[in-house]
Amino acid sequence: MLKRKEKFLIGAATAAHQVEGNNKNSDFWVMENIEGTPFKEPSLDAVDHYNRFPQDIELLAKAGLNAYRFSIEWARIQPEEDIFDDSEIEHYKKVLEYCYDFNVTPIVTLHHFTSPKWIISKGGWKNRAIIDYFSKYVEYVVKKLGNLTPYICTINEANIGLQITRIMEDINSNLRKIDIQVGMDEEFLRQRDLYMEKLKDTFRVEEINTFLTPRSIEENRLIFECHKKAREIIKSINPNIKIGITLSLWDYKILPGGEKFVEKLQREDFIEWLPYLKDDDFIGVQNYSQKTYGEEGVIAEPNMRTTLMGYKFCPEALSNVIRFVSKYWDKPILVTENGISTEDDKERVEFIIRAIAGIYQCLEEGINLIGYIHWSLLDNFEWQLGFSQKFGLIAVDRNTQKRYPKHSLYLLGDICKFAF
């Protein structure tokens, strides 16, 4: 067993919209349910974690895990600009108290992709007023729950808008290249435009700016300004709360000629934002895979083993990213997401064993790593992909909402109990 002065956090994560169900006042609920939606299916009851959280936390704890990262849903707390729902804050208080009942350390995320639909109608995440809107929400939550929240992640994957911009550029580039499918592509674009027009009408705006809207580096600064203001508010209410942000970080394998691409990506993904984080207590690292870059850009490796998401199967990517982050960051690092989508739990077991081996190596190298939070606790709603992806340590029959813990849950619990 690795000897440490403080408890090493090993747990699992969820996000409210992906597991709770019936998040009817959120922007995503609107986007899922409009005619022509690109979402494979709506979230509906999701996996009913809103009502079944006691069972889920109990499964986590009894397996041996000691931490649970979950998000508070802004759209439940503040369904309208001038309404804060005390009954909903009481719900999340119960979730937190239940964690303590089972000796599970809660790690709270205040914003995990979804926003109240009224926020989008007010201009969304490209309107500077978002700083004030988010600040009032943060103040309300922390005043009510701050004594129960030892760790707070203000914003999940604050850099994701830049990565989505790159994805959209690649998609549009590929559409232009495939001349033989022009007819299909034109229909795709027409349907997309119709859907966007319906969204604009519903939200009563000229431009849709959700948290996941593609954005430039300059536009993305607004997200980090929200984080800075939130940190100030949280510390003024309870200076003992440890505050951080989470970032989506790919591991980049560099072949000759790929240096120029990777340097730009690392700057945009991480280095650019360090000035905004200097007063944070920890940083949340989220990694799922590795990409390879050569002189022509990203390279698809031949015969590459992939996950259900189409990602390269690469558990070692996590430790590579941790080492990269530690070159610039000497405060605590918390792995807030890492995992694999697969129908075969044996693959998840292999992934966890290899990822944890990398964690051990990082700790032995003296890196200030304080925990590993696996994504995710439950098979859940994977945004536009619906329920087709299987990231969970616990399977769910959505017809009955019955839970089926997987071997990987108990493996991670045993690692927590016996290795750390």
pLDDT digits (tens, 9 = 90+) for 343-374: 999 999 999 999 999 999 999 999 999 999 99
- What is the structure's pLDDT at 205? 97
Distance in angstroms (rounded) separating the CA atoms of residues 211 and 208: 10
Q: Which two tokens stand for residue 234?
A: 């949280």
- What is the structure's pLDDT at 12? 98
Mean pLDDT of 171-178: 54
Query: Which stretches does DSSP call E strand in 149-234?
Result: 151-155
State the DSSP H helix or E strand holding residue 168, giving kind and residue range, or none if neither: helix 160-177
Q: Three-state DSSP class for 191?
A: helix
Give the amino acid at 175.
L
Locus of tokens 């032995």: 364
pLDDT tens-digit readout, 134-168: 999 999 999 999 999 999 999 999 999 999 999 88
- What is the structure's pLDDT at 4? 67
Residue 90 has pLDDT above 60, yes or no: yes
Mean pLDDT of 77-91: 98
- What is the structure's pLDDT at 5? 65
Residue 175 has pLDDT above 70, yes or no: no
| Residues of the chain above pLDDT 90, percent | 91
pLDDT tens-digit readout, 212-264: 999 999 999 999 999 999 999 999 999 999 999 999 999 999 999 999 999 99
Distance in angstroms (rounded) separating the CA atoms of residues 406 and 385: 22
Q: At what angle do helices 217-237 and 160-177 cross, to 10 degrees?
A: 160
Burial of 90 (0-12, 13-18, 19+ CB in 10 A): exposed
Residue 174 has pLDDT above 80, yes or no: no
Q: Where are the domains of the chain?
A: 9-418
Model confidence band, residue 180 (pLDDT cutoffs 50, 70, 90): very low
- What is the structure's pLDDT at 167? 84
9-418 has which CATH code? 3.20.20.80
Count CA atoms closer than 13 A to 78's CA, side-chain side: 20
Residue 311 has pLDDT above 60, yes or no: yes
- What is the structure's pLDDT at 184? 54
- What is the structure's pLDDT at 152? 98
pLDDT tens-digit readout, 7-42: 999 999 999 999 999 999 999 999 999 999 999 999
Give the amino acid at 371.
G
- pTM metric for this prediction: 0.96
Mean pLDDT of 401-414: 98
Mean pLDDT of 78-105: 98
- What is the structure's pLDDT at 186? 77
